[in-house]
């Protein structure tokens, strides 16, 4: 467990801690009755002012238009609270308030968002302070086991992490030469797409390299093989440019440069929600980030050799349309592994849905290996007689 031994990891742990505490707080806050809530607000002085009549008149309909996203019905007499926008970054980021001259106008029914923001930021500050006051915390032998325990607690139940230890059962290393074949046989659509883009353009943009590079790392590509793989893939680029602009980043993602953090490969959740692809990008989740017609074309051209046909598409597109991207991906896994006797509902084993690209690839390789082993056993003739 590397969690408590690096600065980066302590930050990660802190982030998870804040997240868990916030979840707990939200439950408590939302189950309190209204009076208790108002009392809580009064005591903690959150620093907002009610928008006065003049402001209400000045901004008029825009206030309501800006909160038209809310599922709770607005009433005509609704109050708005005025708060510095920097206090409610989550509402600003999602464009859920009216914003004028640096002030965010929050509808009364969304007040809780402000409270949650304040709660997590004050908790974060307190934790940061603690970290600064105890810079050698991680070297204290009494405290390390406790922290390790804690960090495992946070990892448990968070299926987003997929560590290399659990992927390759027998620690198979893969080489740069193997990637083409592995991609064809075992990769989920997101990685197939990145692989095709890389082969076609002989280049990938930053987040594409990051998403694909970390995936390959966890798949078992060593640092030397990774450098070899990317060097050969970027065949339009001169050696010195490659060394200058890309080698460092590859080494960095293996924890050999900079912060020396052992970066995990991105989970489906992260791929779906963070670093949204820009207009020229190829990373992301194809089920979510491709236009429907492009997704269908891509699925057919990618997986028809593994048994996917156009008659499978309506079902897949239906789940995509409903926003169940992981279900669509899982279904594709089932269809493309029907030769290995995977049936509908089996998922990536035990009925599980895909939550991580490496889980998809690892399961696919396991299935292949099981069949090869069985075949080998057949040939060796040491199948137990029945």
Partner 1 sequence: MTTEKEPLTPELMLAFYRRLYPFKSVFNWLNHEHTPTKLFTQREFAFTLQGDVYLRYQSFLSVEELKKQVCTMNPTRFEIGPMYSARPRDRKTVRPGSFTPLLRELVFDIDMTDYDSIRTCCSDAAICNRCWAFISIAVRVLDQGIRDQFGYKHLLWVYSGRRGIHLWISDKEAMALTDEQRKALVGWMTVIQGGKEMHKKVNVRVKSNPLPPSINMALDTLRERFVDLILIDQECFQSESGYEELLKLIPDNIAVSNLRTKWRNTERSSKQKWTDIKKEIRNAGGENTLRGSLIFAAMEDIILQYTYPRLDAEVSKHRNHLLKAPFCIHPKTGRVCVPVDPRTIEKFNPENVPTINQLLQELDLGSQDATQNSEHHSDWEKTSLKPYVELMDRHVLALMEEVRKSKRGAGSSQSSSEMKRLGASHSRLPCLLGEHARLSLHATIGESGKACEASSCG
Minimum Å gap between C-beta 63 and partner 1 is: 9
Pick one of 85, 119, 154, 263: the residue that binds partner 1 (CB under 8 A).
85
Q: How far apart are the C-alpha atoms of 155 and 165, rounded to whole Å? A: 14
Minimum Å gap between C-beta 49 and partner 1 is: 16
What strands, in cross-sheet order, belong to the sheet with 49-50? 49-50, 80-84, 103-107, 98-100
Q: How far apart are the C-alpha atoms of 290 and 146, rounded to whole Å? A: 45
Q: Which one, of 327, 331, 326, 336, lies nearest residue 285 by Cα? A: 326
Pick one of 112, 130, 175, 243: the residue that binds partner 1 (CB under 8 A).
243
Pick one of 20, 56, 99, 313: the residue that binds partner 1 (CB under 8 A).
99
Q: How far apart are the C-alpha atoms of 230 and 203, rounded to whole Å? A: 9
Query: What one-character-per-residue DSSP string does 92-115 give?
Result: HHTT-SEEETTEEEEEGGGHHHHH
Of residues 146 through 205, those in contact with partner 1 by CB under 8 A are 193
Pick one of 66, 191, 210, 216: the residue that binds partner 1 (CB under 8 A).
66
Binding mask 7-46 for partner 1 (x = CB under 8 A): x---------------------------------------
Strands, E assignment, 25-178: 49-50, 80-84, 98-100, 103-107
Q: Is 37 or 252 the residue whose CB approaches partner 1 more closely? A: 252
Q: Is 31 or 280 the residue whose CB approaches partner 1 more closely? A: 280
Residues 139/165/218/360 CA torsion (nearest 10 deg): -140
Q: How far apart are the C-alpha atoms of 105 and 92, rounded to whole Å? A: 10
Q: Which two tokens stand for residue 256?
A: 């050999």
Q: How far apart are the C-alpha atoms of 35 and 43, rounded to whole Å? A: 12
Q: Which residues contact 55 (CB under 8 A, 6 or more apart)?
A: 80, 82, 105
Q: Is 156 or 279 the residue whose CB approaches partner 1 more closely? A: 279
Q: Is 138 or 161 the residue whose CB approaches partner 1 more closely? A: 138
248 binds partner 1 (CB under 8 A): yes
Q: How far apart are the C-alpha atoms of 284 and 207, rounded to whole Å? A: 9
Of residues 307 through 346, those in contact with partner 1 by CB under 8 A are none
Minimum Å gap between C-beta 243 and partner 1 is: 6
Of residues 269 through 298, those in contact with partner 1 by CB under 8 A are 276-284, 286, 289-291, 293-295, 298
Q: Is 2 or 248 the residue whose CB approaches partner 1 more closely? A: 248
Minimum Å gap between C-beta 56 and partner 1 is: 15
Pick one of 90, 140, 224, 378: the residue that binds partner 1 (CB under 8 A).
90
Site size toward partner 1 (CB under 8 A) is: 49
Minimum Å gap between C-beta 93 and partner 1 is: 3
Report yes or no: 98 and 66 within 8 Å, Cβ to Cβ: yes
Pick one of 22, 41, 74, 92: the residue that binds partner 1 (CB under 8 A).
92
Which segment (100-108, 179-187, 227-235, 347-355) binds partner 1 by CB under 8 A? 100-108
Binding mask 251-270 for partner 1 (x = CB under 8 A): ------xx------------
Give, in degrees to the nearest 5, the angle at Cα 31 between 150 and 106. Answer: 95
In the chain, the largest separation of any two C-alpha atoms, in whole Å, equals: 90
Binding mask 347-366 for partner 1 (x = CB under 8 A): --------------------
Q: Is 66 or 221 the residue whose CB approaches partner 1 more closely? A: 66
Report the 3 state secondary structure along 261-324. CCCCCCCHHHHHHCCCCCCCCCCCCHHHHCCHHHHHHHHHHHHHHHCCCHHHHHHHHHHHHCCC
Of residues 112 through 141, those in contact with partner 1 by CB under 8 A are 131-132, 135
Please give the residue ranges that form the binding site for partner 1 (CB under 8 A): 7, 62, 65-66, 68-69, 85-86, 89-90, 92-95, 98-103, 131-132, 135, 193, 206, 240, 243-244, 247-248, 257-258, 276-284, 286, 289-291, 293-295, 298
């Amino acid at each position: 467990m590397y969690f408590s031994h690096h600065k980066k990891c302590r930050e990660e742990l802190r982030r998870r801690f804040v997240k868990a505490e916030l979840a707990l707080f939200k439950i408590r806050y939302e189950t309190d009755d209204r009076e208790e809530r108002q009392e809580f607000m009064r005591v903690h002085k959150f620093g907002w002012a009610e928008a006065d009549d003049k402001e209400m008149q000045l901004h008029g309909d825009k206030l309501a238009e800006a909160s038209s996203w809310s599922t709770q019905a607005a009433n005509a007499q609704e109050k708005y609270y005025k708060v510095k926008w920097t206090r409610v970054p989550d509402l600003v980021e999602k464009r859920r308030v009216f914003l004028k001259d640096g002030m965010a106008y929050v509808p009364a029914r969304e007040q809780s968002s402000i409270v949650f923001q304040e709660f997590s930021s004050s908790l974060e500050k307190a934790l940061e302070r603690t970290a600064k006051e105890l810079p050698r915390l991680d070297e204290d032998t009494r405290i390390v086991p406790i922290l390790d325990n804690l960090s495992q607690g946070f990892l448990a139940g968070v299926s987003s992490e997929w560590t290399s230890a659990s992927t390759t059962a027998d620690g198979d290393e893969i080489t740069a030469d193997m990637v083409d074949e592995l991609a064809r046989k075992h990769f989920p659509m997101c990685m197939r797409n990145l692989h095709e883009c890389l082969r076609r353009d002989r280049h990938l943009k930053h987040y594409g390299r990051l998403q694909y590079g970390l995936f390959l790392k966890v798949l078992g590509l060593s640092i030397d093989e990774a450098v070899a793989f990317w060097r050969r893939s970027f065949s339009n680029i001169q050696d010195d440019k490659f060394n200058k602009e890309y080698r460092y980043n590859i080494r960095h993602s293996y924890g050999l440069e900079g912060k020396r953090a052992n970066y995990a490969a991105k989970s489906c959740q992260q791929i779906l929600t963070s670093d949204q692809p820009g207009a020229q990008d190829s990373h992301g989740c194809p089920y979510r980030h491709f236009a429907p017609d492009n997704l269908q074309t891509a699925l057919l051209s990618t997986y028809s050799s593994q048994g996917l046909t156009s008659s499978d598409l309506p079902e897949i597109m239906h789940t995509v349309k409903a926003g169940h991207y992981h279900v669509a991906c899982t279904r594709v896994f089932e269809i493309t592994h029907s030769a290995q006797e995977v049936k509908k509902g089996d998922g990536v084993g035990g009925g599980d849905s895909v939550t991580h690209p490496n889980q998809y690839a690892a399961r696919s390789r396991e299935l292949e290996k099981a069949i090869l082993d069985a075949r080998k056993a057949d040939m060796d003739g040491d199948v137990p007689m029945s």
